[in-house]
């Protein structure tokens, strides 16, 4: 077991422009790391299935959107510590990244990964496959 | 039923236990498993261990119930102990006589 003790991270509300939704939308936490010739983006999207995940890359803006189907409420909630909703995160990808190459989700959990060797700008929708 | 958001946690890294009326969750998250020679440009997701004890509102039967970890959501379903389950008592009228 690692010595790092994880702390609870509060979700930050996102404001999806031009979109109306009754559910809350949050920023998923993310990180990106570089392994040799790839840049990998990892995002926390708990509760989002591969079908509910939408990745797109346009004008060097990578958009991660996760839609979550909330389970039907069957009983009385006694204690609720976290909010559930959809996820949205947009960020600029460096122009040195080749956006024409693939994407692959990672572990069996709801993390998504976009791997891109480098080159120049392009616009495309990224297909999500179960890893 | 208890649910918890545990993105990036593997089933083999998760431990659950029931002691009395307390449910304990313990585990770890390692985001860089099996990847050597990597460097982070930006890191918002933390790796490390966690533990949490949840006081249950009723006594549960530790022998029954189960847990599932699907798409980063842990769902623990526990059955109430028979002593905690409300039981209907039928009242019968005695014949006077």
ipTM of the complex: 0.74
Tell whether the model's pLDDT for residue A102 goes beyond 60. Answer: no
pLDDT in tens, A15-71: 655 443 444 556 666 666 555 566 777 888 888 888 888 888 887 788 888 888 887
CA distance A17 to chain B (A): 23
Q: How confident is the model at residue A121, as a pLDDT?
A: 38
Are B69 and B14 in contact by the 8 Å Cβ rule? The answer is yes
* Interatomic CA distance for residues A119 and A95, integer angstroms: 7
pTM: 0.71
Q: For residue range B14-55, what is the model confidence (pLDDT) as tens digits?
A: 999 988 889 999 999 886 655 666 677 778 888 889 999 999
For residue B28, give the chain A residue with the closest CA: A1
Which residues does chain A have within 8 Å of residue B45's beta carbon, measured at their own beta carbons?
29-31, 42-44
A5·B73 Cβ contact <8 A = no
Strands of the sheet containing A111-115, edge to edge, are A111-115, A38-44, A30-35, B38-43
What phi, psi does A119 have (nearest 5°)? 180, -110
Which 43-82 residues of chain B touch chain A by CB within 8 A? Answer: 43-50, 57, 69, 71-73
B26 CB-contact burial (10 Å; exposed 0-12 / middle 13-18 / buried 19+):
middle
CA-to-CA dists, residue A106 to A44, A103, B35, B54, angstroms: 11, 10, 13, 30
Residue of A nearest to B48 (CA): A4
pLDDT digits (tens, 9 = 90+) for B55-96: 998 888 888 888 999 888 999 999 988 876 677 777 878 876
Asked if residue A102 lies in contact with residue A41, where contact means CB atoms within 8 angstroms, the answer is no
What would the two tokens of residue B68 be?
């599932």
Contacting A residues, span 84-113, partner chain B, CB-CB under 8 Å: 107-111
Residue A125: its pLDDT value, please? Answer: 55
């Amino acid at each position: 077991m690692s010595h790092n003790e994880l702390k609870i991270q509060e979700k930050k509300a996102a404001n999806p422009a031009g979109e109306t939704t009754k559910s809350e939308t949050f920023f998923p936490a993310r990180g990106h790391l570089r392994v040799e010739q790839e840049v990998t983006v990892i995002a926390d999207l708990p509760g989002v299935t591969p079908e509910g995940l939408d990745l797109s890359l346009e004008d060097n803006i990578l958009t991660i959107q996760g839609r979550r189907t909330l389970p039907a409420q069957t009983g009385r909630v006694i204690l609720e510590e976290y909010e559930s909703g959809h996820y949205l995160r947009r960020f600029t990808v460096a122009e040195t990244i080749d956006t024409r190459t693939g994407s692959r989700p990672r572990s069996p959990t709801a993390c998504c990964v976009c791997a891109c060797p480098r080159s120049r700008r392009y616009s495309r929708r990224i297909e999500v496959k179960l890893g | 039923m208890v649910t918890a958001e545990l993105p990036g946690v593997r089933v083999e890294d998760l431990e659950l236990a029931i002691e009395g009326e307390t449910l304990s969750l313990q585990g770890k998250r390692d985001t860089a498993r099996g990847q050597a020679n990597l460097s982070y440009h930006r890191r918002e997701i933390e790796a490390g261990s966690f533990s949490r004890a949840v006081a249950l509102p009723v006594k549960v039967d530790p022998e029954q119930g189960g847990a599932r970890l699907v798409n980063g959501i842990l769902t623990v379903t526990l059955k109430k102990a028979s002593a905690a389950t409300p039981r209907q008592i039928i009242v019968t009228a005695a014949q006077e006589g």
